[in-house]
Chain A
Amino acid sequence: MRLPLWLKRRLPGYRPPPERWAHMEEPYTGDDVVVVDCETSEFDKKKGQLLSLAAVVVSGRSIELSSALDLTVRSDAVTHPDAVRIHYLRKEDRKHGVATADAVQQFLDFVGNRPICGFYIEYDRAILNRYIRDLYGFELPNRFIEVSELYVRQKRRYIPEVNLDLTFEGLARDLDVPVIDRHTALGDVVSTALMFIKLQKGSS
């Protein structure tokens, strides 16, 4: 449930975004969404360090890859060996990335007030908010769309008790979406974007 802006502003502990991102609070009227994915040093909302970040605009049925954001973050975080096995970002690979603050700024500029969509987006939201709070003292005011939720809703509409495979691969298989470069931020973003497009089409 999204609170209206006037009410939100009155909540205790509310902190408005600085001038540069003030527009992010305005209601969004267009049809685009931004699909986002982060890769972190470990799978932990509190401790995971941001390693890479990708975002792409989905406009109707088109995934605007050519303007996508695809950032590797320069960080000396110790990567958990298991995580490396997943995203293949070793410390050496991250030497040439951008500074974390830089990545977060670019991301905020890119997203604007558009809705943010992802697979298990709660995790990405928590990670990003943690950085944004520390750096600029606010949290993402955007609407969030969870792809797996769209999926469950669509499936349950026809068969309420169905057993669903809610893994990324499970969704990809069921929706017949090619998994492109799995576990690179941009690769996951593209697959997620395709899931979103297909679920959109189905629910309209």
Chain B
Amino acid sequence: MSLQINLDQPPFSFLAEKELAWLKSRLDLVFFPAGEVILEVGQESPGIYILYKGVVEETDDDDQVFTQYGTEDMFDVRAVLESSCKHRFTAIEETLCYLLKAKDFIQLLNSSDDFSVYFRTDLGTQQSLVEQRGGEVSEFILAQVDGDTMRTPVYVTGQTTLVRTARMMRDEKHDALLVRDGERRGIVTGSDLLHAVLNDSLPKETRVAEVACFDLITVEEGEYLFNALLKMTQHQIERVVVTRNKEIVGVLELMDMLSTFSTHSHIVAMRIEQARSIEDLVIAAGRLESLIANLSGQGVKVMAIMSLITTLNRRLIRKAFELLVPDKLNSQVCLLVLGSEGRGEQILKTDQDNAIIIRDDHVKDALMPSLQKLHQVLLDFGYPRCPGGVMFINDAWIHTAGEWRARVGKWLNNSSPEAMMNMAILMDAEPIAGNSELFEEIRGAWHHESLRSSIAASWFARPALQFETPLTLLGNIREDHGAIDIKKGGIFPLVHGVRALAFEHGLYETNTFDRIDRLAEQEVLSKEVAQGLKDSLVLFLRIRLRHQLEKAEKNPGLTQQLKVSDLRSVDRSLLRHGLHRVKKFKQWLVSHYHLENL
């Protein structure tokens, strides 16, 4: 019979058709009246329950609600694998569950690798399994540089004449040849030859070694194609040399990649790089959003999108800065991006968070006209005005280096929530244009040994606890507010908690993932916790991005509200795990910073 249950989602979608059919034939149906305990603490579970209808609540010994389960959710895998139940499961509405007997479940685990990996691993792996299923098109970008993607190199010796080189290019149908000149290895391209002969009027008999470029840009075999693409973008080149343990093994051509790579990220990057006017930049900026939607739609991992978009955004702003601020002022100022942009975690444009540092002996009046223009351009790019006024056009966020240092000192002594907030904002700063040495000067102001375990660090951490983790809202119960604020509930406490630790330990990193890695290295966080936090943050960002993109189609504007019922059940269960992690982390922060009496 066809059971009316949706099993096309992970983890069941990892099963082959035959296994799935078998699974369906093994299901029993169990009914529980409202209020009935389904599984008691310590009880052995008869199997895995998959909710068909109704709501089940998971509580611990002290009757604290952990989470709720709704249609298509399942519980409790741990009780089956560990043969005893840690929590109590109660039907809080009339509930109908399919029951997969424990022995049948174990048999499925043994017969399917993906299926068992899903259950036996941590959140991160579960997630990447889910993401993998999201789309197959992306495989190209996530593919690695290997024999399939690169061309075998064709060599000429440095003694070869330009004429012969040109002929070889035509015969071999290669637009670039590698040049072997003694110990040196270089590359020569068709356009190199063109410039040599036509622009520099070199005779055709010139040795190719004289025009070749010996400063090779390389990628190591096995790197992501995506990274190779970023390198090409950065250096404005169209091919990179592939190495294996420093030995050249091939050439990776942009054209080869582009023919498969349909998302145009490179084209956007090129447009930014080649822009000659602000108008050109505005057009390029307009393309970023569709690029993101495109990448996300193709199932590209959110981390990869984030790093690509961060690179592109910064280039965009830097380019605008270069176009608007006269060269002679360039070394006098430093443009900082703050907030999520500074941490490199912004995907869709939120708001302008930025600041300016001016060299001590300089006055800001000379700068203001160009900065006003820059601000306007950023608006045109699609960065809305910051509602909190954290923008360099406001007096509070444009100072000389000396003034900045004084301000930071004042904030740290003051400990008011406002001062701490400002500190938090500045801590995520990343210099992206102008003279970055100016930033180095002021950064020292909050990298004191004395700040560790000081009262300031503890005040700094406080806001992380400000919002309740919205765990119990999951499930389908409270339809009237079946939405959670993913930023307040998940992202902010995590990011801010990590920021507080970074502050305490004087880390230079601004990216949350980098900070977590560093904190794990310094053994502030255990490896497990660190991994859990990173997985959770990726998850939040991924779910939020998808949600925001979907919302944007109907009504633009960035929402932080996730409608729980819109989520796939698998995301709902991952989200639950993620929020669990955040809750634990908050508890850890409380004891770490002695915030019990809040």
Which residues of the other chain, A, contact B25 by a CB distance below 8 angstroms? 66
Q: Answer whether residue A93 sits at the interface, using C-beta atoms and an 8 A cutoff.
A: no
Q: Answer whether residue A180 sits at the interface, using C-beta atoms and an 8 A cutoff.
A: yes
- Smallest CB–CB gap between A72 and chain B, Å? 11
Known: A178-B53, A180-B4, A186-B1. A66 touches B27 (CB 8 A): yes
- Smallest CB–CB gap between B510 and chain A, Å? 52
Q: B1-35: contact bitstring with A at CB < 8 Å (1 yes, 0 no)?
A: 11110000000000000000000011111111100
B1 touches A62 (CB 8 A): no
A63 touches B29 (CB 8 A): yes
- Smallest CB–CB gap between A172 and chain B, Å? 13
Q: Specify which of A63, A70, A176, A186 is in contact with B28 (CB 8 Å cutoff).
A: A63
B31 touches A198 (CB 8 A): yes
Q: B31-73: contact bitstring with A at CB < 8 Å (1 yes, 0 no)?
A: 1110000000000000000001100000000000000000000
- Smallest CB–CB gap between A33 and chain B, Å? 14
B31 touches A61 (CB 8 A): yes
- For window 520-542 of B, CB contacts with A under 8 Å fall at none
Which residues of the other chain, B, contact A76 by a CB distance below 8 angstroms? none
Q: Answer whether residue A122 sits at the interface, using C-beta atoms and an 8 A cutoff.
A: no
Which residues of the other chain, A, contact B391 by a CB distance below 8 angstroms? none
Q: Answer whether residue A194 sits at the interface, using C-beta atoms and an 8 A cutoff.
A: yes
Chain B contact surface mostly: strand
Q: Answer whether residue B545 sits at the interface, using C-beta atoms and an 8 A cutoff.
A: no
Which residues of the other chain, A, contact B32 by a CB distance below 8 angstroms? 61
Number of B residues near A (Cβ < 8 Å) is 20
- For window 64-123 of B, CB contacts with A under 8 Å fall at 94, 96, 99, 101, 104
Which residues of the other chain, A, contact B4 by a CB distance below 8 angstroms? 178, 180-181
Closest A residue, CB atoms, query B5:
A180
Q: Specify which of B2, B27, B30, B52 is in contact with A61 (CB 8 Å cutoff).
A: B30
B33 touches A201 (CB 8 A): yes
Known: A184-B1, A187-B1. A178 touches B96 (CB 8 A): yes
Q: What are 20 A-B pairs at a CB distance below 8 A?
A: A61-B30, A61-B32, A62-B29, A62-B30, A62-B99, A63-B29, A63-B30, A63-B31, A65-B28, A66-B28, A66-B104, A176-B94, A178-B4, A178-B52, A180-B4, A187-B1, A193-B29, A194-B96, A198-B31, A201-B33
**Which chain A residues have a beta carbon within 8 Å of chain B's beta carbons?**
61-66, 70, 176, 178, 180-181, 184, 186-187, 190, 193-194, 197-198, 201
10 nearest A-B pairs in the assembled complex, by CB-CB distance: A63-B29, A186-B1, A62-B30, A61-B31, A66-B26, A65-B28, A197-B31, A64-B28, A66-B28, A65-B29
